[in-house]
Structure 1
Amino acid sequence: MYNLLIVDDEPLICQGLSSLLTASGISIDYIYTAHSGYEALDYLRMEQIDLLITDIQMGSMSGIELMQQAKIIKPWVQVIVISAHETFQYAQQAMRLGAKDYIIKPLNSEQLLASIRHVLLHMDKSEHAHEQMLSQLGNNEHFRMQAPLPERDQLLGRLEQADPKAQSVIIAELANRYHTIVSGPYVSVLKLKLNSISKTNQEQDGKGAGRSYTAQEERLLRYAALNIASELLDQHWNYCIYEEGEQRITILVQWSEQQYGDSSVDKINQLEMLGRSLQHNIEKYLGLSSVVGISQIFKGLEFMNEAYAQAEKALAWSRRFQDHYVFYFGDFKWDIYGGSEPDEAEIAAQNNMIVERCRAYIDQNYGQKGLTLNEIAQKNHVSPNYLSYLFKKISGYNLWEYVVKLRMEESKRLLLQTDMRRYEIAEQVGYESPEHFSKIFKKYYGLSPSEMKK
């Protein structure tokens, strides 16, 4: 069963689509509707949404902007775009952000339902395919799994330590023998480390008994993780991927000058979305925990060594934060400490300062319409992913829960101590519509604004 979110600034379209889907027989648990991008973001923050169906042009926040913010909140959410504009630029931007379909208004009911069924079926198939692969573990004595193209993987692994001259030779050999293109010129490296497969299973068993995998079964699980990564990357990325040791996967992401010049997508956010999707899907489909280290983006293949080193350093940071899973090198201010790894006291002081600056910014701006996690993170010079983690760890609040808390406390004060109308209070605390404000208020307090006023 899946939860869907329909977003359109025309209420009749939301109502019509909701009725169509309710009667469709598709396996849907709940359908949420929103009439603006900002209202949709609140649902994405507070509810488990599997599929987002959004219009492209909606007042103050477009469908493209909504997709960008949605992917920061939940990178794995699936998206279908509906639009009255048959514009190639819109469709191209939507597809780059991971949209599964782009459907032109007026909507054809059968076409829309077929698209939704296809997306949900693919989600089922992906899960089933990996379950089927895992079901073969230990059940087929003739099954053998070999690492794909081990000689190619060895060549890719040698790039990490090679000097620029040797890199040129390796890159040429990869192109000639395996049609593996390493061209850049913009590059970033992601390193994914699978936690011990046997240890993971023992930890999941409350008694610590767990299941011990054979070497062959562990190889299959690693290959399944490699397949999951490849499926994610195949959609929108120019990349090279290989196994680096028995528990690690390395990904070299590349952009051409033209691709990097497209400013419609924030590349750092895009890398973090990829890292979080990798970690999420490996845990979801294989039951394995993992950590991901991400380098900054470099221009020029001669800086690949530095990119590899940064990803390794970011990955090593997981030793300090064992309840966090995706680490971007740029979040850790290495230059402050002369490039060396800081001690615990220095880390704590730095992180407390980030959270206090963040809290102060929210305290001053919570009433701002359109306030987003991305904006708060940019003001504090860290990624949204890391800021969310730190804020929850140090303050005890989910970051957006804190924003909602301030908005609701102020709206209650205004409701009980002033004669302001509902729409005026909604405006004051940062909500676009009184109806959306009332929904959030009732969810928070268990009473509508009018019921509390009485």
Structure 2
Amino acid sequence: MYNILIVDDEPLICRGLASLLENSGLNIQNIYTAHNGYEALDYLKMETIDLLITDIQMGAMSGIELMQQAKIIKPWVQVIVISAHETFQYAQLAMRLGAKDYLIKPINSEQLLNTVRHVLLHMDRPLQDQADMISDLREHFRMEQPHPERTEILNQLLSEDPSGSSSAITYGLEQANQIVLRGPYFAMIKIRIDLDSSSKGIKVEEKDAKLLQYAVLNIVNELLDKEWNHYSFYSESRDVSIIVQWDEAGYGDSSVDNINQLEMIGRSLHFHIHRFLGFQCVVGISQILKGREFLPELNVQVNKAIVWNREHKDHHVFFFGDFKWGLFTEDPTDEDLAAQNNLIVEKANEYIHSNYAQKGLTLNEVAQKNHVSPNYLSYLFKKNTGTNLWEYVIKLRMEESKRLIQNTDLRRYEISERVGYESPEHFSKIFKKYFGISPSEMKK
């Protein structure tokens, strides 16, 4: 059974789409509706949402911004975009953020149902037993390394001085249209599969490790090939490396947060590898640097980021920029690391207490103010406090609204405004879910 969230600033469209899906016979448990992006984010944070159907233009927060925030919270949420505008830029951004379809209003009912059906069926695909999966890999895939010459050149670029021979060789391959690394902006992602983390306790032989590396490479290409300018290839120790590049126009797009998109990719890769292969992996993400000569530095960064899994065994996606490397002249001690992490959580807590009643407060904003990624901040906050960060924001809002209900004569819409909600109706839904009774019942 699946939960679907429909987001549109026109209530009539929300009701129409909800009714269509309720009567479709599809395997749907709950259908939630929201009339703006901020309401939608509350549902995404509080409910298990499998499919998001969102409009593009919705006032304060666009559908593109909602998708970006949704993918920060849960990168695996499936998305279908609906729009009154047949704009290529919107469609391109939506597909890059992982939208499964981009439908133009007025919505064709059959087309929407077919798209929803396809998305749910894909999500419902049964997972293969690990032993069977490895057996299939042995049977159907050859052991040869894909694109061995290209793999060798790319690894040389990551390890050698840019003035060395690899640059000349790469130039020759560029001329042959095999490798095109023009950037000028580059980042790296590296995936290290943990062969000892099999959910079934399967011992992986050396030849099967190569097959799993091949399977990881295929997952990478399936997720990234359509919308990302990238090269994925084998690297040392059974790792899979990814070079992502942007041209000036793509990197400078003000509607896109490139670091958040890299983290979205990293978390999606981790989720899909664990889901379909049954093994854990660690994903390292570099910063973004301008110039191909910095590829060796990006490789150093992803390797350093991956090492942090030793300190955080229960966390799997690491961004190099989250760690204050410049504070230490030598490897930090456990006490240094703990102090750094405690300071991040302390400052985030202070910011939340000062701004929890702000309309439109997002995890991304709290993270930016504390110079850390949303992914790592969420992890640290939960680890240090035992509470999910957004649940903590809601707790502060609800306790303040309870105090205002019990001690003032403010109306519901006034209280809603004071604790950061866009509409009294949405505030009442959150309040009842939190306390079990409505604001008016509590007032009595």
TM range (shorter): over 0.9
Structure 1 residues 170 and 31 mapped into 2: Cα distance closer, same or farther (>3 Å)?
farther
d(CA) in 1 for partners of 2:350 and 2:235? 43
Contact 1:422 1:434 in 2 (8 A): yes
How far apart in 2 are the matches of 1:140 and 1:362? Answer: 49
Structure 2 partner of 1:250: 241
**Partner secondary structure for residue 85 of structure 2:** coil
Aligned equivalents of 1:144, 1:366: Cα separation in 2? 53
What's the offset of the Cα at 1:322? 1.2
Q: 1:378 to 1:137 in 2, by over 3 A?
A: closer
Match of residue 153 from structure 2:
155
Measure how far apart 1:77 and its partner are.
1.5
282, 289, 303: which one aligns with 1:298: 289
1:174-185 alignment to 2 at 5 Å? 174-175=173-174, 179-185=178-184
The TM-score, its normalising length taken from structure 2, stands at 0.94
User: Distance between the aligned counterparts of 2:364 and 2:405, measured in 1?
Assistant: 30
Asked whether the equivalents of residues 134 and 221 of structure 1 are also in contact (C-alpha less than 8 Å), the reply is: no
Q: Displacement, 1:332?
A: 0.5
- Tell me if 1:172 matches 2:171: yes
Q: CA deviation at 1:225?
A: 1.6
2:269 aligned with 1:271, yes or no?
Answer: no
User: Any conservation in 2 of the 1:293–1:312 contact (CA below 8 Å)?
Assistant: yes
- Give the number of aligned pairs: 442
The corresponding residue for 2:305 is 314
Q: Tell me, yes or no, if structure 1 residue 97 matches structure 2 residue 109.
A: no
Question: CA contact under 8 A between 2:131 and 2:202: conserved in structure 1?
Answer: no
- Indicate if the aligned counterparts of 2:153 and 2:166 stay in contact, CA closer than 8 A: no
SS at match of 2:99: coil
Structure 1 residue 132, shift from structure 2 partner: 8.6
Distance 2:37 2:107 in 1: 20
After TM superposition, where is structure 1 displaced by more than 6 Å over at least 4 residues in a row? Answer: none
> Could you say which residue in structure 1 is the equivalent of 2:204?
213
Cα deviation code 1:184-212 (max 9, x no counterpart): 2111111111012xx212xx46xxxx332
Equivalent in the alignment of 2:217? 226
Q: Equivalents in 2 of 1:299, 1:74: separation in Å? A: 29
Supply the distance in 1 between the matched residues of 2:140 and 2:275 (Cα, whole angstroms): 24
TM-score relative to the length of structure 1:
0.92
Structure 2 unaligned residues grouped into runs of 5+: none
Q: Secondary structure at the match of 1:235?
A: coil
Residue 449 (structure 1) aligned with residue 430 (structure 2): no
Cα distance between partner residues in 1 of 2:358 and 2:49: 25
Match of 1:135, as an amino acid?
A: D
Q: Structure 1: which 5+ runs fail to align? A: none
State the Cα deviation string for residues 205-261 of structure 1 (Å, max 9, x = none): 6xxxx3323444333322222111111111321111111235311111111122112
Distance 2:253 2:386 in 1: 38
Matches of 1:322 and 1:141, distance apart in 2: 30
Residue 114 of structure 1 and its aligned partner are, at CA, apart by: 2.0
Change (3 A) 1:95 1:213: closer
In the alignment, does 2:142 pair up with 1:145?
Answer: yes
Q: Provide Cα deviations, 1:264-323, integer angstroms capped at 9, x if missing partner.
A: 111111111111111111111111101111111111111111111111111112111111
Matching of residues 52-201 of structure 1 within 5 Å: 52-124=52-124, 127=125, 131=128, 135=132, 137-138=134-135, 143=140, 145-146=142-143, 147-165=145-163, 166-175=165-174, 179-196=178-195, 199-201=196-198
Match of 2:38 in 1: 38
AA aligned to 2:83 is: S
Give the secondary structure class of the aligned counterpart of 1:170: helix
Q: Which amino acid aligns with 1:382?
A: V
Q: Per-residue CA shift, 1:354-407, capped at 9, x if unaligned?
A: 111110111011000000001111110111111111111111111101100100
Quick check: 1:144–1:216 contact (8 Å CA) kept in 2?
A: no
Q: Is residue 330–residue 382 contact of structure 1 (8 Å, CA) maintained in 2?
A: yes
